[in-house]
Structure 1
Amino acid sequence: MKQTDSFLSNGFVIFDEIYTMDEVENVLRQINLANSDKDTFRKSEDLFAIRQFLKEVPSAIDAVFNDNLKAILSQILGDKYFVVKSIYFDKPQTSNWYVSYHQDLTISVDKKVSLNGFDLWTTKQNQFAVQPPLNILQNVVTVRIHLDDTDENNGALRVIPKSHLKGVYRPETIDWTFEKEVSCNVSKGGIMLMKPLLLHSSGRTTNNRQRRVIHIEFSNQELPTELNWAERINLC
């Protein structure tokens, strides 16, 4: 089965060696130079994160979007895809932070308006988030760029294959007699592609190794005329 077919069937796929070690170090260098005093930067003992990452660290864009990544995105999304969200996560070596099973059910938009099928509005860092109709979520592709070797001992994602095909799937209803869990181990310089509706979780760090990941969501679908993607970056 081709990797793209596996992605559509299982809801995730891993590609190794998308970035050279020099490219990874270049991305990290741009992150380290960024001004971390803004509200979009979250700093704690368990996690350092940058929301709206590509807007806050635009110098990283050229390094992130190398030819390898663009070729994979074009194969899956065609030639008119764009960024709709980006976050940087740094889980330190001693992090006790974990995330239980969930789906990514919201998108970031520029304003709050009353639209049929757009529900559960929230606001964070002066940015609106909303749960859109299912067809919009089904069209989003998430890329997780791994800047460190990552396995089940330092927070690799655990996923339930094919769960993205079941619509909104509440974690409390998971039937573990039927479902299986997979740990998505990714080497430094590799990427993981996933569908936001895929049930996924992340465990605590137990091996004293850092885990840094850039999470970028893409779409090729326009929103209703009343709304805009808040973090949209056109790449094509």
Structure 2
Amino acid sequence: MAITEQEPLQTLQPELGTNGFAVVPGIFTSQEVAAILQEIERADSLKDTFRKSGGLFAIRQFLKEIPETRALIFNARLKQLINRLFGSNYFVVKSIYFDKPAASNWFVSYHQDLTISVDRKAAVAGFGPWTVKQDQFAVQPPVPLLENIFTVRIHLDDTDAANGALNVVPGSHRKGIYRPENIDWAVEKEHTCCVPEGGIMIMQPLLLHSSGRTQNSRSRRVIHIEFSDREMPNGLKWAERLAVL
């Protein structure tokens, strides 16, 4: 369900609790979107955290790699929304930029976001399995920590089913670890999250979601930012801990 600008902000809280997601238009103006894209285009794409191919362009640790975007992204509207929905203690723990180009044939099947990025590998009860890619450590933490995280997806293009909008299973975030092969489509429903340029989608990491192939000539450029208000146990640290400006 999309939340219009006229609806009270407090309607988002039950929406997120019940469905695990909400769409909020009008967080960024067209001018703000253009300014963010300009900073991305200026960035040095030869860095290890940049991944570029014919069907995908991604930047890991986006807010660290392109710090010029931080003040643009954390405008007054987004900061007010975060503070009123989640409180003032949340900070960034992961940021990624995805560009699904017009020619992309990239499809992502249903999954939950089950891993977090940390500074190193360590033996910590409840954390595992571990993966390492290009010196970046990822691990699946205990479910309560995943339930504490929320994600903001900033859409820099109008996004619908034809150019890779997310499909989600509403309410699946309340079922713990929910394997895609166990989805009972006789019970569950699928929803396509259309988001206008300058709007955001807020979602819980445990929400089952997928992304279809691009079927038209339009890109789908998204900035994905995860937030938490919890520190890691046993000396572990978030790999990308940044304060909300």
TM-score band, normalised by the shorter chain?
over 0.9
Give me the CA root mean square deviation. Answer: 0.9
Superposition pairs of residues 1-236 of structure 1, within 5 angstroms: 2-235=11-244
Post-superposition offset of 1:214: 0.2
Report how many residues are paired.
236
Note the alpha carbon deviations across 1:144-163, whole angstroms, 9 max, x for none: 00000000000000000000
SS at match of 1:115: coil
Contact 1:109–1:128 (CA<8 Å) still a contact in 2?
Answer: yes
Post-superposition offset of 1:129: 0.4
Contact 2:74–2:244 (CA<8 Å) still a contact in 1?
Answer: no
Note the alpha carbon deviations across 1:57-101, whole angstroms, 9 max, x for none: 000000000011111111222111100000000010111001000
Note the alpha carbon deviations across 1:21-52, whole angstroms, 9 max, x for none: 00000000110011100111011111000001
Post-superposition offset of 1:235: 2.2
Q: For 1:233 and 1:2, how far apart are their aligned partners in 2?
A: 28
Contact 1:77–1:220 (CA<8 Å) still a contact in 2?
Answer: no
Note the alpha carbon deviations across 1:144-194, whole angstroms, 9 max, x for none: 000000000000000000000000000000000000000000000000000
Q: For 2:214 and 2:225, how far apart are their aligned partners in 1?
A: 22
% of aligned pairs identical? 60
| Partner AA of 2:193 in structure 1 | C
Segments of structure 2 that go 5 or more residues without pairing to the other structure are: 1-9
Q: Which runs of 4+ in 1 moved over 2 A?
A: none
| Partner AA of 2:215 in structure 1 | T
| Partner AA of 2:170 in structure 1 | P
Post-superposition offset of 1:226: 1.6
TM-score (norm 1): 0.98
| Partner AA of 1:44 in structure 2 | S
Q: For 1:7 and 1:230, how far apart are their aligned partners in 2?
A: 26
Q: For 2:229 and 2:80, how far apart are their aligned partners in 1?
A: 15
TM-score (norm 2): 0.95
| Partner AA of 1:223 in structure 2 | M
